Amino acid sequence: MPRLARTVVAHLEKARSACLAAVENYNRPGTAFRTRTYTMLMTVAWTSLFHAFFYRRRQKPWYRQPGTGRQIRYKRIDGEPCHWELRECLRQYYGDMNPPQRANLQFMLALRNKIEHRYYPELDPALYGECQAMLMNFEELLTKEFGETQAVGGQLAVSLQFSALRPEAQQEALRRLQTSQAKDVLEFIERFRANLAPGVFESSAYSMRVFLLPKLAVRERNADLAVEWVPYDKTKPEAMEKLQQAITLIKEKRVPVVSEGLLKPSEVVERLRERLPFRVNMHTHTQAWRMYGVRPAGDAEEKARTRPEFCVYDELANGYGYTTAWVDYLCQELQDEEEFARVTGKAPVLEES
């Protein structure tokens, strides 16, 4: 590869340094809400990588002043040229193409804007796949455009996980997520994923989903690598089928929904009776979840489409569980007489003391 200009090298070093800092922070034990700092640093890494690419192509990644005609003038801030941010870099690099890599970055950008000044550590488990894909895509584009010598993979290690505790940790994270105040962030995540083009959500370039498999060897000395990445390759169906069989043998039993901490409809009604001044019954609750779109009405294929901060479908129990956040929400909304009448279709009646 030809020798790179000094400006290109400087942006490559910045990109690689920001990437390593992002991974270091994410993998550091005890770090809470790792996704927030990770997305901020990886946004810097990706932006610098694109800038290096444009500079190498002798294209200035700067915003132009509008209405300058043939004479090109660039927008400046404090005397420095105003560089393209990541969103504009995506538009310039991909044009009309919309591969999963672009969808991943668009998601992470929008997510960063929502969580940059918030503290929701319970979101971390739900976003691991997109975070991992953001890193893998960075390495892929870096080596594709600038060669293997620029790769950062050799300086990274697989983060150690306490796998025996992982199922319980996932359950606790799910419980906290269901009862958290991150309502708008959850709605954004669900809406973005639901609107992805067919095949994009399943792509590992959008969200990386992995299993850690024990690597076996006939003799101990042959096990030179304890952990090995095995990328999916659809051109090798037999090998992938064997890998899937191995995964099936060792993967943990998947419980569709955690019931712990969730309330039955009758328990929701009982708590509403304790806190609302009006007479409530099961009909009140039914009308409320219908009015607020908390869960589907009964289509078997739509059972899992709930608002998880309020309600979750439990496949094992074949029913719905409700969160304490749902009770709090109803107590707040149904305190108002007009809202109570709008939701239930009946004027509220004061509960006799």
Quick one: average pLDDT of 221-229?
50
* Nearest of 43, 54, 201, 174 to residue 113 by alpha carbon: 43
Quick one: average pLDDT of 179-187?
66
Tell me, what's the pLDDT at 281?
A: 94
**23-57 pLDDT per residue, tens:** 988 888 777 788 888 999 999 999 999 999 999 99
Tell me, what's the pLDDT at 53?
A: 96
Least confident range of 10-19, 44-53, 223-232: 223-232
Burial of 108 (0-12, 13-18, 19+ CB in 10 A): buried
Type of residue found at 331:
C
Q: Which residues of 317-347 are buried (b: 16+ CB within 10 A; e: fewer)?
A: eeebbbbebbbebbeeebeeeeebeebbeee
**274-292 pLDDT per residue, tens:** 999 999 999 999 999 999 9
Contact 129, 111 (CB under 8 A): no
Tell me, what's the pLDDT at 44?
A: 95
Share of the chain above pLDDT 90, in %: 35
d(CA 190, CA 244): 27
Q: Could you tell me the two tokens for 12?
A: 């490559």
Quick one: average pLDDT of 150-160?
66
Quick one: average pLDDT of 214-224?
49
Strand, helix or coil at 343? helix
Strand, helix or coil at 83? strand
322 against 252, higher pLDDT? 322
pLDDT greater than 50 at residue 163: no
pLDDT greater than 80 at residue 301: no
**106-134 pLDDT per residue, tens:** 999 998 888 877 777 777 777 888 888 89
d(CA 285, CA 279): 11
